[in-house]
């Protein structure tokens, strides 16, 4: 083959290769399947949550001294009044301590009387030079020591009488017995719980709320609390206390709702249903996987219909543990991509596989 023929064949082969590359470059990108969802306002009022009626004020009663429980006339459900004795322990040792303190005080007072008469006699003798100044000073010192002994004995007697009063367990307020932790004959230690007293007049609903609650929890937020057995029996309440930390296992936050004039049906320990008192504001919520963060801004891939192509839209978001809430940039009704947002291109054609809930 001549040199000219070889050159022509090479030129033809190169042209064919370039033509193949051009066809490959012009080949359309494959349609990519994506997960998506349609933005819709969330009108949820938080749903019904189950809670329990508990007293706001309750106390665990315990003795301050060691002793054997001799009486405990009250049981769970019994009513007690303020200052009433609800339990006693054996006070023999405490009574003996009081008697010993009284005897010590009497001895100290007798010693003081002796030192007083001695001092008075020495003062009379010093006038006639029948005694020395040193003897008078010694009498004064003995009298001062006797006075200190009397003061110490009086303090010990007061302490013994106070400890004797610890043999009786009394309530600080009127209430109902909700728990019993010790029986007659049992030796109880100082601080060991014997009875639990609760005030039934001031009640509140205790409920655990998750992080997906559609509105930020705030003290004073209104709720409607209804009896689970009688849903028609309802009462209004407001959040009084929010746990500063969620439970490590359930990830729920304990909320206490103060009840306004609860009816008799709201007994302590009864089950109630709780829901927000007014409808929460509409929210456009999206899962965190749908958010594309670039250069300090947030974006969403919006599926443009009917072309089924995607375009990037900058949005304003309020991010929380349940996902993200759109505050601007995209309106309700738009279809957004919820997965694989880092591998899409502007104008890329997509196929929506299924809807995903926020």
- In-domain check, residue 17: no
State the DSSP H helix or E strand holding residue 155, giving kind and residue range, or none if neither. Answer: helix 133-165
Residue 190 and residue 209 in one domain: no
Does residue 292 form part of some domain?
Answer: yes
Q: Which of 183, 198, 213 is the last residue of a domain?
A: 198
C-alpha closest to that of 34 among 342, 358, 332, 266: 342
Say what the pLDDT of residue 323 is: 60
What's the pLDDT at 152?
96
Please tell me the distance from the alpha carbon of residue 80 to that of residue 69, in angstroms, as a whole number: 19
pLDDT tens digit at each of 358 positions of the chain = 555 554 455 565 555 565 555 545 455 667 778 888 888 776 554 568 899 999 999 999 999 999 999 999 999 989 999 999 999 999 999 999 999 999 999 999 999 999 999 989 888 888 888 888 898 889 899 999 999 999 999 999 999 999 999 999 999 999 999 999 999 999 999 999 999 999 988 999 999 998 777 777 889 989 999 998 888 889 999 999 999 998 889 889 999 999 988 988 898 889 999 988 765 555 677 777 788 888 888 888 888 888 788 888 888 877 655 567 777 788 878 888 888 788 888 888 888 765 555 4
Q: Tell me: do 209 and 244 sit in the same domain.
A: yes
Q: Are residues 193 and 206 in the same domain?
A: no
Alpha-carbon gap, residue 215 to 81, rounded angstroms: 43
Render the burial of 160-170: b for 16+ CB within 10 Å, e for the rest. Answer: beebbeebebe
- Give per-residue pLDDT as tens, 141-151: 999 999 999 99
Report the CATH number that the domain containing residue 290 is assigned in CATH. 2.40.420.20
Our count of domains for the chain comes to 4
Predicted pLDDT at 113: 94
Q: Which of 335, 345, 305, 336 is nearest to 30 (CA)?
A: 345
CA distance 262 to 290: 45
Residue 9's alpha-carbon distances to 14, 15, 21, 23, 328, in angstroms, are 9, 10, 19, 21, 63
- CATH code for the domain of 116: 1.10.287.470
Please report the pLDDT score of residue 276 as a whole number.
85
Please give the pLDDT value at position 23.
47
pLDDT of residue 178: 92
Taking the CB of residue 44, how many other CB atoms lie within 10 A of it? 16
Q: Are residues 272 and 320 in the same domain?
A: no
User: DSSP letter at 345?
Assistant: -
Domain range enclosing 130: 92-165
Q: Is residue 9 part of a domain?
A: no
Please check whether residues 66 and 102 belong to one and the same domain: no
Q: Which residues of 59-73 are buried (b: 16+ CB within 10 A; e: fewer)?
A: bebbbeeebebeebe
Q: Are 273 and 257 in contact (CB under 8 A)?
A: no
Q: Quote the CA–CA distance of 69 and 88 in Å, as a whole number.
A: 6
CATH code of 231's domain: 2.40.30.170
Overall size of the chain counted in residues: 358
**CA dist., res. 259 & res. 277, Å (int):** 12
């Amino acid at each position: 083959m001549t040199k000219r023929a070889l050159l022509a064949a090479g030129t033809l082969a190169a042209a064919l290769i370039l033509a193949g590359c051009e066809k490959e470059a012009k080949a359309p990108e494959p349609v990519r399947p994506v997960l998506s969802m349609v933005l819709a306002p969330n009108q949820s009022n938080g749903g019904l949550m189950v809670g329990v009626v508990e007293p706001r004020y309750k106390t665990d009663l315990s003795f301050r001294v060691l002793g054997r429980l001799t009486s405990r006339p009250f049981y769970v459900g019994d009513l007690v009044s303020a200052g009433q004795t609800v339990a006693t322990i054996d006070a023999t040792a405490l009574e003996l301590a009081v008697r010993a303190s009284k005897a010590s005080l009497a001895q100290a007072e007798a010693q003081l009387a002796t030192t007083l008469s001695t001092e008075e006699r020495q003062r009379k003798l010093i006038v006639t030079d029948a005694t020395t100044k040193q003897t008078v000073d010694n009498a004064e010192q003995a009298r001062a020591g006797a006075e200190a002994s009397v003061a110490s004995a009086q303090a010990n007697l007061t302490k013994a009488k106070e400890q004797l009063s610890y043999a009786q367990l009394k309530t600080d307020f009127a209430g109902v017995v909700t728990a019993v932790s010790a029986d007659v004959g049992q030796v109880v230690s100082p601080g060991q719980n014997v009875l639990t007293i609760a005030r039934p007049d001031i009640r509140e609903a205790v409920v655990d709320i998750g992080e997906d609650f559609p509105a930020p929890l705030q003290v004073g937020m209104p709720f409607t609390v209804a009896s689970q057995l009688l849903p028609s029996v309802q009462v209004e309440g407001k959040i009084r206390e929010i746990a500063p930390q969620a439970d490590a296992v359930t990830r729920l936050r304990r909320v206490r709702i103060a009840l306004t004039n609860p009816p008799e049906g709201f007994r302590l320990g009864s089950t109630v249903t709780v829901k927000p008192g007014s409808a929460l504001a509409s929210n456009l919520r999206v899962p965190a996987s749908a958010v594309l963060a670039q250069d300090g801004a947030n974006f969403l891939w919006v599926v443009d219909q009917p072309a089924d192509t995607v375009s990037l839209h900058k949005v304003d978001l309020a991010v929380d543990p349940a996902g993200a809430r759109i505050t601007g940039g995209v309106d309700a009704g738009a279809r957004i991509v919820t997965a694989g947002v880092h591998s899409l291109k502007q104008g890329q054609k997509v196929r929506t596989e299924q809807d995903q809930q926020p």
